[in-house]
Amino acid sequence: MNRIGEKTVKKNILISVIVLVGLILGACTDKALEVTDVVDKIEEHSDDVESYHSLTEFNVEMDLEADSLSESSYMNMDVEIDEAANTIHAQILEENNGQKSTQELYRGDDGIGYQTENDSEWFKFEVGEDVSVSDGFTSSYDKIVAIISDVADVLEMEADDDHYILTFEGANTDVLKALEEPFNVEVSGVQDDDIIHDLMIIVTKEDYHITQLTDEIVGEVEDDIGSMTIEIDQNYSDINDLDDIVVPDEVVNNATEL
C-alpha cells in the first residue's frame, strides 16, 4: 500500500473512532441525567413557552354495583393559547350522562372576551388587559409544569431517541393533590390507599418541552360497592409555532354585550 493509501485508511479509522466516541458519550449523557435534572430543565425551559395548542380530554366513570348505577362525565377542551399576546381561542365539549353541551370562546388582545354556548348567539364582555389568559384555564402550560415539580420525588424515568418518559404507578396522596387544582380532581368515598395512578409524562430531549401528560386513576369505592375510573390526557403541540389568534369579524360585529 502506498503512503497516500495508508494516510486515507488511517484518516477513515480516526473518523470512525471519533464518531463512536461521540455516540458513547451521548448515550452516557442520557444515562447520567436523573429525574430531578430533567424536571429542573423542564422548569428552566418553561419560560421559553409563549404559545401553544392544547388538547385536554378528561373522562370519569363511576359504577355502583349495588344500585346498578353507572355515571359518566367527559370533557374535551381544544385550546389555542398565545400567552405573549394574551389571546386565546377555545372549543369545549362536555358530556354528563349522555347530555352534551358545547362552548366556544375568544379573548382578543384588547382584553375583550367573546363566548357562545351550544352554537347560540355570541356575547362579549370585558376581561381586562391585565388578566393573563393562562390564569383561568386547566390546560395552561405552567400548571402542568407545576404538577411535575410537585411529584418529581416519586417519578421514574426512561428514554427513547427523542423523549424522556417520566412515570409513576401506584398510590400516592401527593400525586392526587397535585392534580386537584388544574384538573379539578376530587375523589370521595374511596380510601387514599385504594386510589391507584398510572401516570406518564413525555418530554422532548431537544428543548425539554412537555408534549403529553396522561394519568389513569382507579379506585374501589368503600365497602366494595363499586369502582371509579378517571382518565386524563393532556397534549401540547405547535409550541411557539402558533398562528396569530384573531377574533373573526363575524363574531365581533354580531356579539351582544353582557
**In the predicted structure, residue 79 carries a pLDDT above the cut 60:** yes
Tens digits of per-residue pLDDT, 200-239? 999 999 999 999 999 999 988 776 677 889 999 999 999 9
Q: Please state the pTM of the whole predicted model.
A: 0.83
Q: What is the DSSP letter of 243?
A: P
CB 238 within 8 A of CB 78: no
Is residue 122 over pLDDT 50? yes
Per the CB < 8 A criterion, the answer to whether 72 and 49 are in contact is no
Q: Give the three cell numbers for residue 186.
A: 376530587
Given a cut of 50, whether residue 19 has pLDDT beyond it is no
**Given a cut of 80, is residue 24 above it in pLDDT?**
no
Question: What is the phi-psi region of residue 31: left when phi exceeds 0, alpha when psi lies from -120 to 50, beta otherwise?
Answer: alpha
pLDDT value at residue 21 = 43
